[in-house]
Amino acid sequence: MTSPDYSIEQDAVAKGYFRIAGVDEVGRGPLAGPVVAAAVILNPDDIPEGLNDSKKLAAKKRAVLGAALHDRAEVAVAQASVAEIDEINILRASHLAMERAVAALDPPPDYLLIDGNMIPRDLALPAQAVVKGDAYSVSIAAASIVAKNWRDQLMVDLAQQHPGYGWETNAGYPSKQHKQALQNLGVTPHHRRSFKPVHNILYQE
């Protein structure tokens, strides 16, 4: 299995771009919590070793890499709320979080590498969509790590306020425990009402 590298970024450098941000989101699938995106501009001379798709890394490794990225790269994190997810749908909300993360980089990047097959419509910068980008681009892998660490910690914090759903371990994804708790404990303000398992409980006949 190949690890992500800096070759896509080098192609962009060859076109005259230098502030290249990898952009990725985490949290499309959960039943609860916001969708979170990160934008990361790596220093090509100081890239932390071991960057990879956040889903392929153990939590401890992700934490170490996340700290290194905050120290050695330019990092921005943003989210779209549960209310926004329910209002505009999860795909558009994930793009909104990406747009906000890019806007939070100061000074702005001049080129974007976006994980997935779509470029969010309100990004006015030159951009390239990279399918499975966190497996190919270290910048996108870095963004996936930062976004996952940030969102996982948020869900741990929310689990303190709403115990029983297992958010500290399932991060709001539809695990067996989470779905059982929805039946037994009901729907919290942090649940996505437009998602079928939640919607079905709210509107049971």
Known binding-site residue numbers for a divalent metal cation = 24-25, 115
Whether the ω angle into residue 189 lies within 30 degrees of 0, i.e. cis, is: no
Cα angle 99, 103, 107; round to 5: 145
Quickly tell me which residue has 């590498």 as its tokens: 113
